[in-house]
Amino acid sequence: MVSPLPTATDTTNANTADTHNRQLFIETVGCQMNVLDSELVVGALRRQGYELTDDMKSADTILFNTCSVRERAEHKIYSLLGRLKYAKRQRPGLVIGVMGCMAQKDQDIIFRRAPHVDLIAGTGQLAEIPNLIAEARQTRRRQRALSLGRRDGKRVEVADSFESYDPTREPQMRPTPHQAFVRIMIGCDKFCTYCVVPMTRGPEQSRPPTLIAAEVDILAEQGVKEVTLLGQTVNSYKHTEEGRLYRLSDLLHKIHDTPGIERIKFVTNYPRDMGSDLLEAIRDLPKCMHYLHVPLQSGCDDVLKLMKRGYTVAQYREMMDRINEIVPGCSVSSDFIVGHPGETEASFDKSIATIQEFRFKNSFIFKYSPRPGTKAFDRLADDVPEADKKRRNNELLAIQNAVSEEDNAEFIGKSVKVFVEGESKAESGKRKAEDANASPSSQDARPAIQLSGRTRCDRIVVFEGNPRLAGSSTEIAIEDCTTTTLIGSIVTHDVQHGCDVGLPILT
């Protein structure tokens, strides 16, 4: 959510920033990695006395944590930056920074297109941000901290220039107080032809298991109950420590018994690296969710080859068979790109067929976006017209929605165990507006509200309950569903006299 930006005629708070009020506004786009990076940078700045604000107009420091994966994500940032040009003229003390994937990839382009930007910091240079802000404020000179480009040195030199930034954590920026991301890898070496991530995040590097385990310990002490391990290809995790090779399965075993942690999940998986050892770990470790995000990208072998994904549909099917055999009931979700160069109607039909065959829990569907710096951009013509991309996107989404709704309907009449995340998102917007007008006493006496949580196989469940249930597990009887959500109510177990067996009563 972006709050209104100051415009050329807007003189409210015109001089606030010049007094350096240490109010920080941060806008984060992109994937979970970026959400985590923002948490870490905000944590570092808070230790220097900064406070977070969601009002851009009153901030003296504005950071954009950016994404380059599709052109639209970049446009959004350039348009926000464009609107700040006039604010900067009125408030010269304002410090504007661009961090993240666009910063690493586009460096000079950003300063050229938005000369009022004060600093840029790449994905591997987040620790520098507090200093860059201080320098920019003091010297009024442009600051930059960037890692090497993929072709700027030997692999080890480039890798060393990307720093994994994982200092003490900042609870305020988490998805909820009970959930946290933990980075286990940085970078990517897969080089799918369409993708900028290997350029923006640098070479693939796995973090030491001892460091990861220590971070999970700290998070658990802070009250976190669910950790999501992050990596671009998280199941490619590999690290040798004291002569022992740790794969993701070994890491799961290592952190599984952390007291306080109730759930562990990990994203995003790469189909070719889905070893049976990992599936067996999920089967054997009760805190692991039975959910895997493993993007297929296309259902057509010719397109997969052009994408350089490194597998065929038959190999993906073999992986799905193993998942179903080792972890029955495990849900799987996917990403698809429609309109990739070379995708004919016949190849698109094959993507439809795979959704029907593999019955993904859900799929994220993207229209192909040519990205400068990628192999696809250099070598493959963007030959699918925009109108076809749009139609295929809608069609594939409709097919996926039908599958999701059918599978969700199977839950109606059953009870599921749900980890309660908090107030349901749809409700929380409404509630904030109501609370703004409510007296403090009426807020204390809150009745049951719409809560949302997830099953072990990552299905979203909404139900009425006390907000205090957030962070606990509860049993929900499912009564209805939509394409994305199961809807139900809390099951209470009423113990009758002379009977020590709880009878499930639906409320």
For ligand F3S, the binding residues (CB under 6 A) are 30-31, 33-34, 67-69, 100-101, 196-197, 200-201
User: What is the C-alpha to C-alpha distance for residues 190 and 197, in angstroms, rounded to an integer?
Assistant: 9
**Is 192 labeled as ligand-binding?**
yes
User: What is the C-alpha to C-alpha distance for residues 316 and 224, in angstroms, rounded to an integer?
Assistant: 34
Asked if residue 408 binds ligand SAH (CB under 6 A), the reply is no
Asked if residue 291 binds ligand SF4 (CB under 6 A), the reply is no
Q: How many Cβ atoms sit within 10 Å of the Cβ of residue 391?
A: 14
List binders of ligand SAH among 69-88 (CB under 6 A): 69-70
Q: How many Cβ atoms sit within 10 Å of the Cβ of residue 100?
A: 29
Residue 68 binding partner per list ligand SF4, ligand F3S, ligand SAH, none, with a CB distance cut-off of 5 to 8 Å that depends on partner kind = ligand F3S
**Is 188 labeled as ligand-binding?**
yes
In the DSSP assignment, the letter for residue 26 is E
| Contact pick of 191, 312, 315, 373 for ligand SF4 (by CB under 6 A) | 191
The stretch among 163-171, 184-192, 208-216, 378-386 that binds ligand SF4 (CB under 6 A) is 184-192
In the DSSP assignment, the letter for residue 20 is -
Minimum CB–partner distance for residue 151 and ligand SAH (Å): 19
Q: How many Cβ atoms sit within 10 Å of the Cβ of residue 18?
A: 13
Minimum CB–partner distance for residue 201 and ligand SF4 (Å): 8
Residue 198 binding partner per list ligand SF4, ligand SAH, ligand F3S, none, with a CB distance cut-off of 5 to 8 Å that depends on partner kind = ligand SF4
Binding mask 179-218 for ligand SAH (x = CB under 6 A): ---------------xx-x---------------------
User: What is the C-alpha to C-alpha distance for residues 346 and 473, in angstroms, rounded to an integer?
Assistant: 46
| Contact pick of 239, 265, 361, 371 for ligand SAH (by CB under 6 A) | 371
Q: How many Cβ atoms sit within 10 Å of the Cβ of residue 308?
A: 14
| Contact pick of 186, 197, 327, 461 for ligand SF4 (by CB under 6 A) | 197
Closest Cα partner for 402 from 356, 460, 367?
A: 356
**Is 499 labeled as ligand-binding?**
no
Residue 101 binding partner per list ligand F3S, ligand SAH, ligand SF4, none, with a CB distance cut-off of 5 to 8 Å that depends on partner kind = ligand F3S
**Is 31 labeled as ligand-binding?**
yes
Collect all residues with Cβ–Cβ distance below 8 Å to 98 and sequence separation of at least 6: 63, 64, 66, 77, 81, 110, 114, 117, 119, 120, 121
Asked if residue 233 binds ligand SF4 (CB under 6 A), the reply is yes
List binders of ligand SAH among 337-356 (CB under 6 A): 337
The stretch among 324-332, 361-369, 427-435, 467-475 that binds ligand SAH (CB under 6 A) is 361-369
User: What is the C-alpha to C-alpha distance for residues 393 and 388, in angstroms, rounded to an integer?
Assistant: 8
Residue 377 binding partner per list ligand SAH, ligand F3S, ligand SF4, none, with a CB distance cut-off of 5 to 8 Å that depends on partner kind = none
Residue 371 binding partner per list ligand SF4, ligand F3S, ligand SAH, none, with a CB distance cut-off of 5 to 8 Å that depends on partner kind = ligand SAH
User: What is the C-alpha to C-alpha distance for residues 180 and 199, in angstroms, rounded to an integer?
Assistant: 26
Residue 191 binding partner per list ligand SAH, ligand SF4, ligand F3S, none, with a CB distance cut-off of 5 to 8 Å that depends on partner kind = ligand SF4
List the structure tokens of 80: 């926000």
**Is 300 labeled as ligand-binding?**
no
Closest Cα partner for 32 from 127, 80, 100?
A: 100
Beta pairing partners, 369: none
Minimum CB–partner distance for residue 184 and ligand SAH (Å): 13
Collect all residues with Cβ–Cβ distance below 8 Å to 325 and sequence separation of at least 6: none
- Classified as helix, coil or strand, 410 is coil
Minimum CB–partner distance for residue 269 and ligand SF4 (Å): 10
DSSP class per residue in 123-157 = TT-GGGHHHHHHHHHHH---EEE-PPPTTSS-HHH
Exposed, middle or buried: residue 182 (CB in 10 Å: 0-12, 13-18, 19+)? buried
| Contact pick of 122, 124, 198, 339 for ligand SF4 (by CB under 6 A) | 198
Asked if residue 192 binds ligand SF4 (CB under 6 A), the reply is yes
Minimum CB–partner distance for residue 337 and ligand SAH (Å): 5
Measured in whole angstroms, how far is the alpha carbon of residue 273 from the centre of its chain? 21
List the structure tokens of 393: 């996107």
Minimum CB–partner distance for residue 194 and ligand SAH (Å): 4
Edge-first strand listing for the sheet containing 331-338: 291-293, 331-338, 363-367
With contacts defined by CB under 6 A, how many residues of the chain interact with ligand SF4? 10
Asked if residue 195 binds ligand SF4 (CB under 6 A), the reply is yes
Binding site for ligand SF4 (CB under 6 A): 188, 190-192, 195, 197-198, 232-233, 270
